[in-house]
Amino acid sequence: MNDYDLFKLLQQAQEQGEDVALATVVRTQGSVPRHAGSKMIVWPDGRIAGTVGGGMLESKVIEAAQQIIATARPELLTYRMNDMAAGDVGVCGGTVEVFIEPMLPPPTVLVIGCGHVGKEVAALAKWVGFRVLVSDDRADLCTPSHIPDMDGYYVTPAAELASHVPITSQTYVAAMTRGQTVDVDLLPVLLASPARYIGLIGSRRRWALTAEAMRQAGFSDEQLARVHAPVGLELRAETPREIAVSVVAEIIMVQHGGDGRPMRWLDTEELAAGQDRGS
């Protein structure tokens, strides 16, 4: 398989919302099975296209690529091929360096529920730079005239969402639903997906009732812990736009591994220590 065919497969994976990794031999020394520039695509289930050399080398690269897809962090790995008894991947006598990079779908915010708050969440997420999809079972709200400039509009009941909307490990779901009955239909779909973030609007009482209904349906507390409910950071937000800031801020926090703390230069203990030193 040549590079042209491989890059076509990569494009197809992106368009279909698939997680893959691209492994490229970037440097070789001595006797090795494949030259620099050799490439291989790896899917999370271990399927491959292309090759970086076969044998144990390729097996190790596939294993590493699966881990890199999960962590979304590229790595440059070195494989020696001298002594298999010492843990090397072959006996050809050379060394291979392989750069493995995750090729994941673009970060996407999926807004479910296109009412007042959902509309503002979608607009702000788009302004921040996310790819944004919107979904609602009310056709008059899920339209370009109601929420302009979105990347996709899906009119579908909550229970059928997965059949119509691609949800990947790079999807951040903001469920701005209008009631607990919708939540009960929607959550099984979302919990079965690889979504990076699941946020659900509503009061603490509403979430408690929804969570109990989910437990009775067989979902564990570990599964329910994936849900950010009530959604958003505590800003005492009231208006739809203020709530949108709270929700999108939490999504950005999860995306980049933040913790939501204030970014003041000195906290209370540091200030007190400074005063004790006479500073």
DSSP conformation letters of 221-251: HHHHTTEESS-S--S---SHHHHHHHHHHHH
Residues 188-225: tens digit of each pLDDT: 999 999 899 999 999 999 999 999 999 999 999 999 99
- pLDDT of 277 > 60? The answer is no
Mean pLDDT rounded to a whole number for the chain? 89
Quickly count: other Cβ atoms within 10 Å of residue 264's Cβ: 9
101 beta partners? 22
- pLDDT of 229 > 90? The answer is yes
Query: Would you place residue 130 in the very low, low, confident or very high pLDDT band (cuts 50, 70, 90)?
Result: very high
Give the residue, 71 or 23, on which the prediction is more confident.
Answer: 23
- pLDDT of 275 > 80? The answer is no
Q: What pLDDT does 244 receive? A: 97
Tell me which of 3.20.20.70, 3.40.50.720, 3.30.70.940, 2.60.40.1080 is the CATH number of domain 108-256. 3.40.50.720
Look at the alpha carbons of 259, 264, 270, 272 in this order and tell me if their dihedral is positive or negative: negative
Percentage, residues of the chain above pLDDT 70: 90
pTM of the model: 0.74
- pLDDT of 32 > 90? The answer is no
Q: What pLDDT does 279 receive? A: 46
Q: What pLDDT does 138 receive? A: 95
Two structure tokens written together for 156: 């579908």
Q: What pLDDT does 273 receive? A: 66
Residues 78-126: tens digit of each pLDDT: 888 765 655 556 556 678 899 999 998 889 999 999 999 999 999 999 9
Residues 253-267: tens digit of each pLDDT: 999 999 998 877 656
Q: What pLDDT does 31 receive? A: 77
Q: What pLDDT does 104 receive? A: 86
Q: Rounded to whole angstroms, how far apart are CA atoms 166 and 118?
A: 19
Contact criterion met (CB below 8 Å) for 177 and 112: yes
Residues 34-78: tens digit of each pLDDT: 889 999 999 999 999 999 888 888 899 999 999 999 888 999 998
Q: What are the residue ranges spanned by the domains of the chain?
A: 3-103, 108-256
